[in-house]
Amino acid sequence: MPEALLVIDVQNDFCPGGALAVPDGDAIVPGINALMAGFPVVILTQDWHPAGHSSFASQHPGKAPMELTEMPYGPQVLWPDHCVQGSPGAGFHPDLTIDRADLILRKGFNPAIDSYSAFFENDRTTPTGLEGYLRTRGIDRLTLVGLATDFCVNYSAVDAARLGFATTVRTDLCRAIDFGGSLAAAQTAMQDAGVQLAA
């Protein structure tokens, strides 16, 4: 069965100079482009928030970016405004080979709930439709790369494994935000879910 490469959120706002820059986020782009050639199916995800999204710290008076708040669906990190629909920051990194993508999956467009995972919104139950796409294409193995290791890559990989996909994360082609021990926690969560971490 074919294997898919899932490229998570390699967007301008997550790269140096962006609104929510991941350190060295742009350094992984050449390696991802090279890796695409070895996969029959390539899928890109794109954070795609409406202005005023509920996960933005700017929407919570008295709260600062990177603080935690409680949402109806559970704890939520509050972020700087980022990846606003149609903005330059929401665009893919200009060097990313997007023409290789079979599918571009946009997530985080519901203003009331964030969506780290490529498979589910942050309530962990509302699906994005990616699982159905993969099943109908007969894909049972996934390799994940992208940004950021400790949030969107982590959540996507854990969900993929939970759904029964054989899941590998190429840690050399990911970068992390890593605050408050988030990277170590993500690595543990992925390994506990049965995700293979490979360099």
Q: Which residues are annotated as catalytic?
A: 9, 107, 152
Cα distances (Å, whole numbers) of residue 151 to 62, 142, 195: 24, 17, 15
Edge to edge, what strands does the sheet with 41-47 contain? 103-107, 41-47, 3-8, 141-147, 166-175, 196-198
